[in-house]
Chains A and B, each alone.
Chain A
Amino acid sequence: MTSGPRLAPKRRIVPRQGSAAAGASPAESLDDGSVRIRTRKLTKRYGDLVAVDHLDLEIHSGEIFGLLGQNGAGKTTTILMLLGLTEPSDGEAWVVGLDPARHPLEVKRRVGYMPDSVGFYSDLTGRENLRYTARLNRIPDELAETTIDEVLDQVGLTERADDLTDTYSRGMLQRLGIADALVKDPDVLILDEPTTAIDPLGVTEVLLLLRRLVEERGLAVLLSSHLLNQVQSVCDRIGIFASGRLIGNGTIAQLAERFGDGAAHIEAGFEFENAADAERAPGLLRAIDGVEDVKSGPRPGDPWLVTVRPPSAGGAVRQAILSVAAAEGLRLVSMRPIVPSLEEIYRSAVARSTGETTGAVH
């Protein structure tokens, strides 16, 4: 897919964040001009069920935030509240500096939304569907045409744009959904399960596209998913959702530190010249400050697994391994830190939170 040309300059005539007329944003978010979404103790109850439980969240422009959780954890409800499509039972939310419950139209003008299993009018072509969206957003027809061409190009649907959406594959519909959210030139993109039901190649395309969009346009992107490895590859920060509560929030490294087993791992591969070296190596490595354990790989010649505690000592330990190897004449051929998988982090986070809490379940 080729990268599209930059869009025409924004034609917004509405009050920006921080205007007195909006009157809904607190003083703190005015200082940091790049916070696009913020919630404070946001709660939604359906009768006895607490779908979203006192959520505190902050999302900045230029980042992709992944909301991770099982089906039914409360992700879609949170998103609906951010768009003003559902009223919160408690707490506050600010999207582009406005309260979506009080200024829904304004928020919807600047937020592009792609719902879970997005649908289009099957008797219209892709382009016509986008035209309808443009008209609903009051975009003048001429500007709409150029914008539509650009977004179709960015999502790679230009050749199929004039076919009925009836004929689109699931992946194409998702891409059209992203194009649809971009037509209004939004400041924020909210995508609910954007990669579910797409084949692996399609998923990569969509994720690369999102990355490119954020870089080119400085968007803030909130995406929700239950597919951990996909989220891992594209998100800057991740929020782990379970039973309506945000139990973890930060970059993968931060989450690993919080929910990992408290240790970092380094994989170091050696090419020993003789058996004596092979026997000295573990002892030398263990002697390094911060190294808890050294395990050899399953077969001779496999890299060694070095466990480092605390995880923050990882960098220093890697340096130390280099200098020890050089000083002792050991041939180090590879060394890399092992990033913990999001799946492990997620499982550990959920287990820990259900262990800590007693009552907050469906």
Chain B
Amino acid sequence: MVVARKEFADHLLSARFIILLFVLGLVAAIPLYFVADTIRSAAQANSGTPAIFIALFWYAPDVTDQITLPSVAGFLGIVAPLLGIAFAFDAVNGERARGTLPRLLSQPIHRDDVINGKFAAGLAVIGIVLVSVVGLIAAFGIIRLGILPAPSEILRLALWVIVTFVYVSLWLAFGMLLSVVVRQAATSALIGFGVWILVTIFGGLITSLVGGFLAPISGSDAQRLANNQVQEIVSRLLPDTLYREASLVLLSPQAMSRDISTPATIDGYVQAQQQIPSLTSLDQSFIIVWPQVVALVALTVACFAIAYVRFMRQEVRA
């Protein structure tokens, strides 16, 4: 549609697109630099190591003895929300501020074409950025490190990109909601980034605080268990956790089912000793993370729905 096309062109030519592409690329390059060495030596040592290509993405490298960097996927998971927010925070309130909204709405287009078009354009740009960055990393792995991906690894990577895309579109919908509800673009940007910092960096703190509040530990094992469970439930409410769990399972076949406990696995605590370390196959990985993915999609739809309804009801006045 016409609005989507114009917004997409605007995004591609905008400064923020270049900046974000650059930032994301840099952010992915940092762990890659450290990971590359480890992987290359591992690949040279045993040249039949399964799923080594995809380790490029999930392996968290040790920089020194004490410091472990997040993996490439981890870094992307932290920074990707910025993508979502950046392309949406001034979508509607920017039009309002420039005085173009009444003129736009007086054209013979459906009112929802405006918000749908902007969202679609945002999705398209995000898709481009994600695919480019992941493509570059994959190319690096293949060309510089000489590692060839197996078909199942390629599939895992593709699925992971899709899940990352859904995750970023959640933040896009959130940014869009902010742009509809908040008058000033600057304020909506600040709120968006504030929430991002809160969820991403302080997410763990929040869950342990809430856990401590609802199910305090005072020594007994049963209480520790209860506390753990509450923390898990609270952390599942944060989309960041959902994404990280899905990411981990999709990307690393070595992930034990005890690393995340889901309805598809039995509670990790009890079963840990009985687990035989092995590689989970792709379809099993997918079954494990299916609830997370559905939850992310549901959150995205909910955010966008609220933004949509609020936008349709708003008064047009300049």
Contact = CB atoms under 8 A, between A and B. Distances in A.
Given A136-B108, A137-B108, A116 B316 contact: no
Contacts of B108: 105-106, 108-109, 136-138
B2 A136 contact: yes
* Nearest 7 interchain pairs by C-beta: A119-B99, A115-B102, A113-B106, A136-B107, A108-B108, A109-B108, A119-B98
Contact of B318 (A109, A115, A137): A115
A48 to B, nearest CB: 17
Interface in A118-136: 118-123, 132-133, 135-136
A50 interface: no
A200 to B, nearest CB: 23
Contacts of A180: 103
Interface string B222-242: 000000000000000000000
Given A80-B316, A80-B317, A115 B107 contact: no
B181 to A, nearest CB: 20
A257 to B, nearest CB: 36
A76 interface: yes
Interface string B284-318: 00000000000000000000000000000001111
Interface of A: 76, 80, 83, 85-86, 105-106, 108-109, 111, 113-123, 132-133, 135-138, 177, 180
Nearest to A183: B107
B110 interface: yes
Given A115-B318, A123-B10, A85 B98 contact: no
B177 to A, nearest CB: 22
Interface residues of B, number: 20
Contacts of B279: none
Contacts of B2: 132, 135-136
B98 A86 contact: no
Contact of B103 (A105, A111, A118, A123): A118
A146 B317 CA distance: 32
Contacts of A137: 107-108
Contact of A108 (B10, B106, B315): B106
B130 to A, nearest CB: 25
A300 to B, nearest CB: 56
Contact of A122 (B98, B106, B109): B98
A193 to B, nearest CB: 10
A76 B317 contact: yes
Nearest to A117: B99
Contacts of A108: 106-108
Interface string B77-113: 0000000000000000000001110111111111000
Contacts of B106: 83, 85, 108, 111, 113, 115
Contacts of A109: 108
B99 A118 contact: yes
Contacts of B316: 80, 85-86
B16 interface: no
Contacts of A135: 2, 6
B190 to A, nearest CB: 23
B80 to A, nearest CB: 26
B104 to A, nearest CB: 8
Given A83-B106, A118-B99, 13 more contacts: A85-B105, A105-B110, A108-B106, A113-B103, A114-B103, A116-B318, A119-B103, A119-B318, A121-B98, A123-B10, A136-B2, A136-B104, A138-B108
